[in-house]
Amino acid sequence: MPRRAKQENVDILHTNGQPVNGTPTGSRVAEEQQGPKENIFLFVPNLIGYVRIVLALVSLYFMPLHPRRCSFLYSVSCLLDALDGIAARRFQQSTRFGAVLDMVTDRCTTTCLLVFLATAKPAYSMIFQGLISLDLASHYMHMYATLAMGGQNQSHKNVSAETSGIMHLYYTNKTVLFVTCALNELFFIALYLLCFSSPKITPALIAPDGTSPTSPLDPTPSLLFPSPFSAAAMEMARANKMDSLVPWVLTVISSPVMVFKQYVNIVQMVKASHWLAEGDRRDRKLAGLAKTK
């Protein structure tokens, strides 16, 4: 075929710069020449994240009455949090999806444990509810502020020393970050184990005549559930499952770090609030809405 005829065929295929009959042009050609897309969901650190979720779900199944199994599975899930970061750096697979998956998994697992503590220790439920709210609000506001203020291409952990010295230390020093997160979780795990210790710690609910309201091994059937567990029955089932010495020691050792972690959460929420307010002032000024005295 003559060269001119070939050129005319090419011109027909690319009328007005648009592909005809699905023929790729421009960036689409370059995209296809690069080969198949990477499957971000199958990156090694993300696979570790999925394993963490499975372990957390299984630990929730054992949480009401099997403290040792639950604590082991929950602890392994938390420790894998450090491994996925190592894998991301080792295989150069740090992704925004992985960062969000990691944060959401951390928030959900801690929340589930605190919900159990709130139900097992109703006298302190307001404290546990407050800790849940602080944890979720602090991390959500920090993540949103990072994205809203032009940090789409940077990690939420990139906090300068000028912004906050304590947050810079917390996020940039891997040892501080690991120890803080590990001992914070250990504190709540220890409180969880105390729910299964001596009745002096978790008093069993006994009726005034000395009899139990219902036995967990032989519950009274109901109209909706053939084998219901009342709160009183669950309380009795948890009592005297283990000695309270080790959980108390773990609670005392980890409590200062838990307090430090909550302080970091407060600082993080305050700094994120100021950062967002600064952006609001800037936007209002550009829009001519700012009012000055």
Catalogue the active-site residues. Answer: 106
Whether the CB-CB separation of 101 and 94 falls below 8 Å is answered with: no
How far apart are the C-alpha atoms of 237 and 205, rounded to whole Å?
10
Residues with Cβ within 8 Å of 59's Cβ and at least 6 positions away in sequence, in order, are: 69, 70, 71, 73, 74, 77
Whether the CB-CB separation of 268 and 142 falls below 8 Å is answered with: yes
The two three-digit tokens of residue 277, written as one number: 């307010």
Write down the residue that tokens 């005297």 correspond to: 240
How far apart are the C-alpha atoms of 125 and 138, rounded to whole Å?
20
Write down the residue that tokens 């998994």 correspond to: 105
Comparing C-alpha atoms, which of 83, 56, 48, 46 is closest to residue 185? 56
How far apart are the C-alpha atoms of 51 and 64, rounded to whole Å?
22
